[in-house]
Amino acid sequence: MFTPPPSPGPTAHFTPVSNPTSPSSVDLTLGAKKRTGRHFRWAVVIVPLILMAITISARLPSLTPFSPPSPVSWHGLIADGSNRRSHRRHPLPEPQLHQSPSSSSPSSTSTSAPTSSTGISTQISPTVPSSPPPLPTPFPQPFDGNLAQNFSSVSCFNFFGNMTNTQPFRACRPFSLLLQSSDSFISAQQNLTLLNSIIWGTCNASPGVAQCTANMGWFAASLKTACAQDLKDQNSMAVNTLAALQAFQVMHDASCLADPTTNTYCFLTAVRNPNPSDLYYYQLPLGIQLPKSSTPSCNACTKSVMGIYAAAIQNSTQGPGLAGLKVTYGPAAELSVGLCGAGYTKTLASSASPLTGTNVNVLSGFLVMTIWTLLVSIS
């Protein structure tokens, strides 16, 4: 009889065993969530700070227009306008416009506004000469009075003596220096015919504006060396002369402008005007602020003068040497726009700050990298 084999026993139930050496998946998930949460909380706090920093850096140009660099020790003097003149000169045009020839000595000048507009304002403005006019002999020169003796160093005194007697300087007839340091030029402002010839002479100096610009640049560099101590001591003669040498080209261009409607030099029109406000604009490159009480005539001449200044400041060659103009242009432009209307002149707020364009992007990138490094370090 066949006996079947015994039935197999019940199959054992298999229960997988977790790896005892690895953390639970629940713990891993919780840890990742905690780290993500920490990163998110830091991001919520820090990202707005980054955006605020970028916004502030982008707004700096309009908050601090034309903050000039300070490559030399006399920057502070230009910025605050203190001690801007030698004791023998007066910075404002009023006494130059209305003083009589017999009262042209420094002791007779006054800071009060003129009480009469008769004299120079009644003269007929001559037109720009179509051919070379007779020029005064000798032609007005800077420092044509007695050269001041109040120098801090002998080398600076010798420099001025040598410069004012060299042909490369005298032949250029620098308007920027005549305006502030020539007795003959100041006196000539009482005779429009004579002044017209002098302006023609400064605009048509035989070396040419390019050569004269190079000459004045050489003298400016030499002055920085010979008068280093005087610049450090803020000697007005050295400070004012350096500013004028560096502003030669921009002041030459401004003084040679002609009014297209009358064909007269704009500078003569400003001199003839009983209101001296238009004349103040010609002193801006020397670091002399436009008085807040100024009431410019808002004519085409002043608009063109400010246009020349704006272009010079933005010029990569001229701009670095125009520290004085960078200080005075912004307030003058603001006053001009307020009185003459929007668009009368450029404000150039965005072009003067060192934190513009590429620099803002660099700052933003630096901030982002810093925050990223911080987030990684706390993860």
pLDDT tens per residue across all 379 residues of the chain: 455 556 555 544 444 444 544 555 555 565 655 666 666 566 656 666 666 666 555 544 444 343 333 333 333 333 333 333 433 333 333 333 233 333 333 333 333 333 334 478 889 989 999 999 999 999 999 998 877 778 999 999 999 999 999 999 999 999 999 999 999 999 999 999 999 999 999 999 999 999 999 999 999 999 999 999 999 999 999 999 999 999 999 999 999 999 989 999 999 999 999 999 999 999 999 999 999 999 999 999 999 999 999 999 999 999 999 999 999 999 999 999 999 998 899 887 544 444 444 444 555 555 556 665 565 555 5
Question: Would you say residue 16 lies in a domain?
Answer: no
Co-location of 230 and 92 in the same domain: yes
Angular region, 9: left φ>0, alpha ψ -120 to 50, beta rest:
beta
Which residue from 352, 325, 324 is spatially nearest to 72, judged by alpha carbons?
324
Residues spanned by the domain of 43 = 37-62+357-378
In this structure, the strands spanning 264-265 and 258-259 are antiparallel
Co-location of 259 and 318 in the same domain: yes
Assigned token pair, 86: 């030698």
Question: Would you say residue 342 lies in a domain?
Answer: yes
* pTM exceeds 0.75: no
3-class DSSP assignment, residue 112: coil
Give Cα 274 to chain centroid, integer Å: 29
Question: Would you say residue 246 lies in a domain?
Answer: yes
Co-location of 51 and 167 in the same domain: no
Co-location of 221 and 366 in the same domain: no
Most distant CA pair in the chain, distance: 161
Which residues, 6+ apart, have CB-to-CB distance to 34 below 8 Å? Answer: none
Co-location of 217 and 275 in the same domain: yes
| Terminal Cα distance for the chain, rounded | 79
Q: Please provide the DSSP assignment of 121-171 as one string.
A: GGSPPPPPPSSPPPPPSSPP-TT-SPPP---S-HHHHHHHHHHTTSHHHHT
Question: Would you say residue 3 lies in a domain?
Answer: no
Co-location of 287 and 194 in the same domain: yes
Which residue from 57, 61, 35, 38 is spatially nearest to 367, judged by alpha carbons?
57
Co-location of 69 and 49 in the same domain: no
Question: Would you say residue 325 lies in a domain?
Answer: yes
Co-location of 127 and 223 in the same domain: yes
Question: Would you say residue 2 lies in a domain?
Answer: no
The Cβ of residue 90 has, within 10 Å, a number of other Cβ atoms equal to: 18
The total of structural domains in the chain comes to 2
Q: At what angle do helices 248-255 and 236-246 cross, to 10 degrees?
A: 70
Give Cα 152 to chain centroid, integer Å: 28
Co-location of 214 and 169 in the same domain: yes
Question: Would you say residue 113 lies in a domain?
Answer: no
Strand extents, DSSP E, 285-368? none
| pLDDT score for 44 | 57
Give Cα 30 to chain centroid, integer Å: 60
Co-location of 98 and 185 in the same domain: yes
Q: Are 104 and 144 in contact (CB under 8 A)?
A: no
Co-location of 361 and 262 in the same domain: no
Co-location of 57 and 161 in the same domain: no
Question: Would you say residue 327 lies in a domain?
Answer: yes
- Kindly report each contact of residues 140-143 with a partner whose C-beta sits within 8 Å and lies 24 or more positions away, as own/partner: 140/173, 140/178, 140/182, 140/184, 140/185, 140/188, 140/198, 141/170, 141/173, 141/178, 141/182, 141/184, 142/174, 142/177, 142/178, 142/181, 142/182, 143/177, 143/181, 143/182
